[in-house]
Amino acid sequence: MPISKLFVDAAVADHPLVDRIQRRLGIAAQPVTDGRPVFEQVAAAADPVQAAKEVLLLTRNKGAFVRKCPGTRSYTCCGYQILHVATFCVMDCSYCILQSYFHPPLLQFFLNHDDMLQELAQTFAQPAISRIGTGEFTDSLIWEPWTGLCQTLVTRFARQDRAVLELKTKTTAILDLLQLPHNRKTILAWSVNTPRVIATEERRTTSLSARLQAAAKAEAHGYPLAFHFDPMVIYEGCEADYQAVVADIFSHVAPQNIVWISIGTFRFMPDLKPILQRRFPDSRILYGEFISGLDGKMRYFKPLRIRLYQSVIRAIRAAAPDVLIYFCMEDDEVWQKSLGFLPAERGSLPQMLDRSAVSHCELDAGLLA
């Protein structure tokens, strides 16, 4: 963690984790009455995004911890639920939407965990399957070495059979999770990409090899797994490179232990473009064949997306005929031409994912819609 300044909101100053985080970071926390001066300090920096990766605010989540994924109109949504435990990330991916999503971005870690656990208890009481993840506004595991949050979550999810927790990461920070009694209610998931994309667009992340070695260790300790090819980047030779990633995955882990694999190509809101150009002047990721999508995001020309999807899906199917593959935010035409069916023909995408979670994670099958 490249943290140079640590602030603590007066509302959580007495929380026992404050002392633990101070000791592990080796930085004394500066008290603030609210987050406004911290946000103003970051916003005034020459590079607010970089400054935001070096300043941490310990505070409380004043809104809901468990939230529905907002999805995108006109594209199929998976019905995911977000567990909002923190914001932003210390890794530095050129394509990261968080650079423009938060104004300004800021590393925040929420300490009102009693409120979080109370909301989770209410979720566990619902008569339906819940798929919950912490990786929407941050990387799920960057906080683990000095907060222990995921250890709390894994052990809490292990004691129920209505929900599954997905921890999505580009790190290898799983050591403290390996010996926990997870009861297969936590999916350890890795975002994957080609070595070329990782080297050029994913600064301060671990290599593909390191991610897959971590996945193999997680599997050896009984965790179900998931992989996310998102965002895939189109460049000359990319199809062969992504096929090689698929082969590498299945050389490390068994197909039957993978709950799902998602795929999606690079897309971005127009306001990300100037940030990316300024912060990553050597990146070529913006210079593909893009058009404006139905959601206002710039997307690769659809035939190009479909061609890459078909190539990757063929490779996955050859190694794992039964694994669930799904798209993150694509339309019916892409589903039909790439996977050969529409989610509605199999109930819906949320139902497809729920069934896979039940079969891999020992959830209550009676809760299936």
**Rounded average pLDDT over 15-21:** 94
Task: Look up tokens 């698929």; give the residue.
Answer: 246
Sequence spans of domains, the chain: 1-59, 61-367
Cα dist from 338 to 74, 281, 283, 325, 344, whole Å = 18, 34, 28, 11, 15
Sheet strands (E) in the chain: 5-9, 30-32, 55-59, 66-68, 81-83, 86-87, 92-93, 107-110, 130-133, 163-169, 186-191, 202-203, 225-232, 258-265, 267-268, 290-292, 298-300, 325-327
Q: Which two tokens stand for residue 306?
A: 């479909």
**Rounded average pLDDT over 191-202:** 98
Q: Are 197 and 234 in contact (CB under 8 A)?
A: no
Architecture category of domain 61-367 in CATH:
Alpha-Beta Horseshoe (3.80)
Respond yes or no on whether the N-terminal peptide bond of residue 70 is cis (omega within 30° of 0).
Answer: no
Q: Are 213 and 252 in contact (CB under 8 A)?
A: yes
Taking the C-alpha atoms of residue 172 and residue 149, their distance in angstroms, rounded to an integer, is 16
Q: Are 229 and 264 in contact (CB under 8 A)?
A: yes
**Rounded average pLDDT over 77-98:** 94
**Rounded average pLDDT over 347-366:** 95
Q: Is the pLDDT of residue 74 over 80?
A: no
State the amino acid at position 353 in one-letter form. L
Radius of gyration of the chain (CA): 20
State the amino acid at position 316 in one-letter form. I
Q: In this prediction, what percent of the chain has a pLDDT beyond 90?
A: 91
pLDDT digits (tens, 9 = 90+) for 204-239: 999 999 999 999 999 999 999 999 999 999 999 999
Three-state DSSP state, 22:
helix
DSSP 311-369: HHHHHHHHH-TTS-EEESS--HHHHHHHHSS-GGGGS-HHHHHHHHHHHHHT--GGG--
Compute the C-alpha angle 363/366/369, nearest 5°: 100
**Rounded average pLDDT over 346-356:** 95
Higher-confidence residue: 265 or 73? 265
**Rounded average pLDDT over 245-258:** 98
Q: Is the pLDDT of residue 73 over 80?
A: no
By CB neighbour count within 10 A (0-12 exposed, 13-18 middle, 19+ buried), where does 8 fall? buried
**Least confident window among 44-53, 66-75, 298-307:** 66-75
**Rounded average pLDDT over 60-71:** 89
Task: Look up tokens 């310990």; give the residue.
Answer: 58
> Dmax of the chain from CA atoms?
57
Q: What is the pTM of this model?
A: 0.96
Q: What is the overall mean pLDDT for the chain? A: 95
